[in-house]
Amino acid sequence: MKSSYSTLMQSKFFNPAFNSAIFDGPIRIYFAQFHESLALKIYFMIQQKLSEQVTRAKDISKATGANILVMVYPSEESFLMSFEGQNQTSHPLALEKWNEDVVVGLRGPIDDQHLDLLVETIGLAIQNWKPSLKAVPELQFEA
């Protein structure tokens, strides 16, 4: 799905506090401006640790229009409004498929100790990302 901002705004994943974003191809990080330093830290860690996976994500996105959306929720309450059922756990993040996109939600701003977990989760999400290829059957995925 070629997600538009207006489609995202109408989804359960959007929060009105998201007034800033970092787009780098298919990787899109949404956050409140007061979490800019965390968002930049996430962006640079993705660039440093996931270069091969990001290349794969760019190929998938180019062929399908799909994206990886990283949502830095301003609070645990706002996170729980988007990710039902997560109130039974204290895990710092959640992952959910949304149409062809993958959404990674953070339970509020996370500590530095959870950044590696986040980057690892994004890497695994890209590795296992298999959007519908009805329109692009020639794009092959490794098993």
Q: How do residues 8-52 score in pLDDT, each as one tens digit?
A: 888 999 999 999 999 999 999 999 999 999 999 999 999 999 999
Tally the domains of the chain.
1
pLDDT in tens, 102-131: 999 999 888 888 999 999 999 999 988 876
Calpha distance 52→66 (Å, rounded): 18
Residue 100 is assigned to a structural domain of this protein: yes
For residue 48, give its domain range: 5-127
Query: Number of helices (H) and strands (E), helices first, in the chain?
Result: 5, 5
Its pTM stands at 0.85
Q: Quick check: is 58 in a domain? A: yes
Strand order across the beta sheet in which 20-24 lies:
20-24, 27-31, 68-72, 101-106, 93-98
Cα-based torsion angle of the residue sequence 103, 124, 61, 25 in order, rounded to the nearest 10 degrees:
80
Q: Per this entry, what is the length of the chain?
A: 143
